[in-house]
Amino acid sequence: MSGLGGLNRSSSGVVIGMTQLQLPSITTPAELAQQTRRVCELVGKARRQNPAMDLVVFPEYCLHGLSMDTRDELMCRVDGPEVEQFRAACRKHAIWGCFSIMEYNPEGNPFNTGLIIDDQGGLRLHYRKLHPWVPVEPWAPGDLGIPVCDGPNGARLALIICHDGMFPEMARECAYKGAHVALRTAGYTAPIRHAWRITNQANAFCNLMATANVCLAGTDGTFNSMGEGSIVNFDGVPLVEGGNQPDEIITAEIRPDLIDEARHHWGVENNIYQLGHRGYVAVAGGAGDCPYTYMQDLVAGRYRLPWEDRVSVTDGTPCGFAPPPPAGDRSAG
């Protein structure tokens, strides 16, 4: 089904390459500039590796590594020089690209940001990670929702980042907004390996949506990232899985037309439709109410777990971060 990694591409297919980028160590603006050039070189590698490739995806932290350094001089802007180089690389090699930056935020902590750029260098999607990996990450929670964009060859694309994929609501929102493919970029390390695999597969199956997932790979001298890119079909079955070789680009072909066919014609296990049409065999059109207390409480601003008062880790102090300022006061960010 994957057409030998996209080498035998169909007219309806989208060939995606997931880059298991070598984990960098970035401590200075000069190193950030060098890493930007390195990522752009790998855009060229992707094009040379597979002339049929439509989209090359880089992991979270592809520029900044895992230091969690929030100094202003290391932060990027969407209209800054790093992103301009990404845009130029996509134009030069006539390929879509997905990239990661840590985005300067004048009102508080930086955002962990993902970008999708088309083959003409146009910015098509700007996403800020909704669920930073607390208590480890210092990034501000995203404020742009989960955007979806039209991608190559009729594919609708969404992007979520790392820990986002552990929340089934994230993948469901991608599919609910029409995405054929949810990209998931990550910097995870080996302890998360099992959860990474099963959530990538569950996110696909539960939403009749392909998922394309990739981590950094190799070591920076302190951390080891695991690589393990995967492209999972809409039935939850992996089309391709990577190991931990740094800078390897794994590829597969996704078929948006077959995803649409399943969404339109499946009866059994068309779960994203059935969520809003419960029991349609017994009730005309199915029940469309919301029986889920947690959803109702979250919307009403009263989300509270039965064990809320016993949760012991509720800020970043175990990982060396200062407590955040009081809600509404961002001056200390």
60, 137, 173, 253: the active-site residue: 60
Residues contacting 95, CB < 8 A, separation 6+: 43, 46, 47, 53, 54, 55, 56, 119
Please give the full DSSP string across 66-84, using - where no structure is assigned: TS----GGG-B-TTSHHHH
103, 129, 248, 253: the active-site residue: 129
Task: Please determine, for residue 330, whether its predicted confidence score (pLDDT) is greater than 80.
Answer: no
40 is catalytic: no
- Considering the domain delimited by 3-274, tell me its CATH architecture: 4-Layer Sandwich (3.60)
60 is catalytic: yes
62 is catalytic: no
The pLDDT confidence band at residue 2, using thresholds 50, 70 and 90, is low
How high is the pLDDT of residue 327? Answer: 75
- Encoding tokens for residue 232? 């999972």
Whole-number Å distance between alpha carbons of 78 and 144: 14
Whole-number Å distance between alpha carbons of 271 and 205: 9
Residues contacting 121, CB < 8 A, separation 6+: 87, 88, 90, 91
Return the half-sphere exposure (C-beta side, CA atoms, 13 A cut-off) of residue 192.
Answer: 20
Is residue 236 within 8 A of residue 301, CB to CB? The reply is no
Task: Please determine, for residue 331, whether its predicted confidence score (pLDDT) is greater than 60.
Answer: no
90, 162, 174, 215: the active-site residue: 162
User: What are the residues facing 55 on neighbouring strands?
Assistant: 16, 96
Please write the tens of the pLDDT for every residue from 135-165. Answer: 999 999 999 999 999 999 999 999 999 999 9
Please write the tens of the pLDDT for every residue from 87-111. Answer: 999 999 999 999 999 999 999 999 9
Whole-number Å distance between alpha carbons of 311 and 297: 19
Whole-number Å distance between alpha carbons of 281 and 278: 9
Is residue 89 within 8 A of residue 43, CB to CB? The reply is yes
Is residue 177 within 8 A of residue 148, CB to CB? The reply is yes
Give the pairing of strands 111-117 and 123-128: antiparallel
Please write the tens of the pLDDT for every residue from 183-235. Answer: 999 999 989 999 999 999 999 999 999 999 999 999 999 999 999 999 999 99
Is residue 215 within 8 A of residue 20, CB to CB? The reply is yes
Strands (E), 187-325: 210-215, 217-219, 224-226, 230-232, 238-241, 248-254
The pLDDT confidence band at residue 332, using thresholds 50, 70 and 90, is very low
